[in-house]
Amino acid sequence: MLSYTLKRLLQAIPTLLIVITISFFLMRVAPGGPFDGERQLPPEIEANLMAAYHLDEPLPMQYLRYMGNLIQGDFGPSFKYKDFSVTELIAQGFPVSLEIGGLAILLALLLGLPLGIAAALKRNSTVDYLVMGTALTGIAVPNFVIAPIFALVFGVLLGWLPAGGWNGGALPNLILPVVALSIQQIAYIARMMRASMIEVLGSHFIRTARAKGLNEGEVIWRHAIRPALLPVVSYLGPAIAGIITGSVVIEQIFGIPGIGRYFVQGALNRDYTLVMGTVVFYGILIVVMNLIVDLLYSALDPQIRYDD
Amino acid sequence: MISRSTLAAFGGLALTALALPAQATTVNIANGSEPGTLDPQKTSGVWETRITRSLFERLVSYAADGSLVPGLAESWEISDDGRTYTFHLRDAEWSDGEPITADDAVFALRRVLAPETANHNANLYYPIEGGHEVNTGDAGPESLGVEASDARTLVVHLTQPTAWFLQALAMTEAAPLPEHVLADSDDGWVQPGSTVSSGAFTLSEWQPQSRIVVTKNAHYFDADDVAVDEAVFYPIDDKQSSLNRFRTGEIDIAYDSVPASRFDWVQENLSDALRVGPLIAEYFYMFNLRDDQPLADARVREALNLAVRRDVITQQIMGQGQTSSYWYVPRGTANAPQGEMDFAELSMDERMARAKSLMEEAGYGPDNPLQLTLNYNTLEDHKKVAVAVAAMWKPLGVEVDLVNAEAAVHYTTIREGNFEVARYGMVATIDDPYDFLNAYADNGSASRASGYRDETYDELVAESTRELDADKRRDLMTQAQQRLLDDYALLPLYDYVSAHLVSPDLTGWESNSMDVHPLRYLKETD
């Protein structure tokens, strides 16, 4: 299994290189540069800015310079946030995004899985309709609708929780963003768990288990849930990578200092180094999460083995 | 509203308690975006200068109403020919106790023009002898016409008299910098713990995307009159979020935090906090005047101007007190030129009749409609205005294609001259018509983008810059602007306003057209 893991990590290197190269050139193909704003600069001053960031060099040269620095672990200075390197920005923001996203996923699993299982067991009952109806609503109502409503209702009108702000990660400041971020995940996980549970419950080995005279609880706990988790686990890999890298909507509405906003703002500001930094970071996370998912598979399904 | 923390209550914070009075006044500010930098010579946005202005005092500073008052220089003389400025520095100290000297001022002016600093507003210091050459790298910083004749006297030599030069010195870009801190390296020098400041506040905490805290500087020359002990700047991009946090009392001053759709509600419910004031900024449509363009024809430009009802846009679409504009330089600017487009007094019927006949003369009509593309940067308000303007042009037989793009793309399109009509928002950097007028002069940004060239205009603008008599200068600027207006070189829509929320518990915050609100004047009422 160790050699399998190593092999997978080595395979990721060319993938990441391709991702980095494509992103680098795509970013430069986009019209507009980091200094194009409402205030149009005199040519002399623009020339100084371009030179200060090596943007006056030919593109292949810039690419080589970037790759050279990257190999040494240097993402370069952010164009927009000049007092910080991209590495510093990610290092400061990621723990925050990880905390919010991690809690949201945890909450989603704690609520989504039991709801999905309950709905599957009580198929076509009131419980099922309620759970699935709520889940559909949860999927249909996006973050940017839920979050401002939460802030307004619980923050401003009722005054139970802070309407925004990070406050060093104090619990009251965490609740609204975590809940707002988890709602869609709860809905997805509940739906997925229900569907996969129904499928498993109808399969031969469950029939066999029942025929052996096992009681229903044991059938479900010992035999049904584990295989039913497989699709949820494969969904969770990329979903976790997506959620712990932050949500620009949640961060902006609740004023959370995570890295989600860098993905969007970096691109809008043409902050080339910041965009590249987030792309590389996200790429690595996806690779790692997919690997973890594959390793979890073998733990959940005895038919899957990664032989050395 | 203003959080008062009784620091004495925390036994463990005895040291802090010594530095601050027992009852500390903290002002919480919703400051828009996260600063890109706090190096006063590398900033590019108002959300940055709002902070750097509290950290770095200039030779010439702002009063609460935005007018100029002595700062680190207690007095100055301007020679009769207007080319030599002599500043007498007061006895003041950096926050580390070192004296602030004329050498620090020389150091800062050389640095702001050094090409590697890549300062955005360096052109405001080109009037200094050698300024342009230093900035383009053709001469070394030592050749700049600034000298410290003694520790407390700074002499600045200009190539020509420049009416707005003191305004340029009031910008944070020109603030003296601590040479003793920066001489070796300026890498990340404006960070809590490693920076040294000259303003009413020092930087004590910076958590990116979360908060920036500035604390009263005991070494500031006017520290006795500074009532605020601490200010916290929160980067809150989302207007609705900062409005929410203002309503809960968490925020005391919320800059630009009234979403257009909520303006009426705020006016009704937060009227004691809402501060609306004129701003030196103009919303206009830039025309592409190049020969191969449809708008090379002045008759068409006049007709398009005639047909636009500014009052509908300012009152029904914007509705925040914007002033309909028939001029280019915002009227809130100090010494603003007078005059307006010649049809401003006509009735709408007269205007439309004249517009239609002009279009006919130019060869356009129902059978041969004028096709125009109108570019704007993606924003709901810009879209509403564009749709309204297109509808107003329709009776002239003008068919408009609306094109929106994100800001970086939009401004590149303008810079490269790839447009016919483009939405533009121009904001002044100094309280003077110079920024605006110069943009349409030879090699100015608007001239390069739109293809506008008028040697008489250039000459009038240059002459007005050299003229030190305010009345004569205004006459020259009025003549210059009138040439632009009589040529219908652009389509002005309105003068911007600023809309901020300020806790009624604070005094010393005054609306002004430069939109500068130094923290040092804020006081809390009991």
- Do the chains contact at A82 and B39, CB–CB below 8 Å? yes
| Residue A307: band (very low, low, confident or very high) from pLDDT cuts 50, 70, 90 | low
> What's residue B55's pLDDT?
97
On the 0-12 / 13-18 / 19+ scale of CB atoms within 10 A, A102 is: middle
- Chain A residue closest to B436 (CA)? A39
Distance CA B346, CA B267 (A): 33
Domains within chain B, CATH numbers bracketed: 57-181 (3.90.76.10), 280-497 (3.10.105.10)
Q: How far is CA B488 from CA B302, B304, B525, in A?
A: 6, 9, 50
> What's residue B14's pLDDT?
39
Q: Which residues of chain B are under the pLDDT cut of 70?
A: 1-22
> What's residue B387's pLDDT?
97
Q: Which helix (H) or strand (E) holds B133?
A: helix B131-135
| A255 contacts in chain B (CB < 8 Å) | 210, 234-236, 238, 241, 245
DSSP string, B247-305: HTTS-SEETT---GGGHHHHHHHSTTTEEEEEEEEEEEEEE---TTSGGGSHHHHHHHH
Question: Å from A156 to nearest chain B CA?
Answer: 6
The B residues from 384 to 423 touching A (CB cutoff 8 Å) are 406-409, 411-415
Q: How far apart are the first and last CA of chain A?
A: 6
C-beta neighbour count of B101 within 10 angstroms: 22
> What's residue B15's pLDDT?
42
Q: Which candidate, B303, B315, B321, places its Cα nearest to that of B394?
A: B303
Minimal Cβ distance to B245: which of A40, A41, A165: A165
Q: Which candidate, B189, B163, B46, places its Cα nearest to that of B107?
A: B189
Q: What is the mean predicted confidence (pLDDT) over A76-90?
A: 87
Buried b (16+ CB within 10 A) or exposed e, B53-83: bbbbbbbbbbebebebeebbbeebebeeebb
The answer to whether A36 contacts chain B (CB < 8 Å) is yes
Q: What is the mean predicted confidence (pLDDT) over A84-108?
A: 92
Radius of gyration, CA atoms only, chain B: 25
Q: What is the pLDDT of residues A157-186, one digit of tens each?
A: 999 999 988 888 889 999 999 999 999 999
Q: How far is CA B503 from CA B77, B210, B228, B243, B244, in A?
A: 40, 22, 14, 12, 14
> What's residue A261's pLDDT?
86
Distance CA B405, CA A52 (A): 27
Does the pLDDT of residue A296 top 90, yes or no? Answer: no
The answer to whether B119 contacts chain A (CB < 8 Å) is yes
The B residues from 233 to 272 touching A (CB cutoff 8 Å) are 234-238, 240-241, 244-245, 247-248, 250
| Residue A267: band (very low, low, confident or very high) from pLDDT cuts 50, 70, 90 | confident
| A47 contacts in chain B (CB < 8 Å) | 136
> What's residue B18's pLDDT?
45
On whether the CB atoms of residues B327 and B339 are closer than 8 A, the answer is yes
Residue B127's φ and ψ, nearest 5 degrees, are -60, -20
> What's residue A306's pLDDT?
67
Query: Widest CA span of chain A, in angstroms?
Result: 85
- Do the chains contact at A36 and B38, CB–CB below 8 Å? no
**Could you say which DSSP state residue A249 is in?**
H
Distance CA A187, CA A130 (A): 12
On whether the CB atoms of residues B233 and B244 are closer than 8 A, the answer is no
Q: Which candidate, A254, A276, A34, places its Cα nearest to that of A144?
A: A254
- Do the chains contact at B120 and A83, CB–CB below 8 Å? no
Distance CA B111, CA A64 (A): 31
> What's residue A24's pLDDT?
92
Highest mean pLDDT among A14-23, A71-80, B84-93: B84-93
Q: ipTM of this model?
A: 0.86
A240: which 2 tokens? 């976790």
Distance CA B297, CA B299 (A): 5
- Do the chains contact at A37 and B44, CB–CB below 8 Å? yes
**Could you say which DSSP state residue B115 is in?**
G
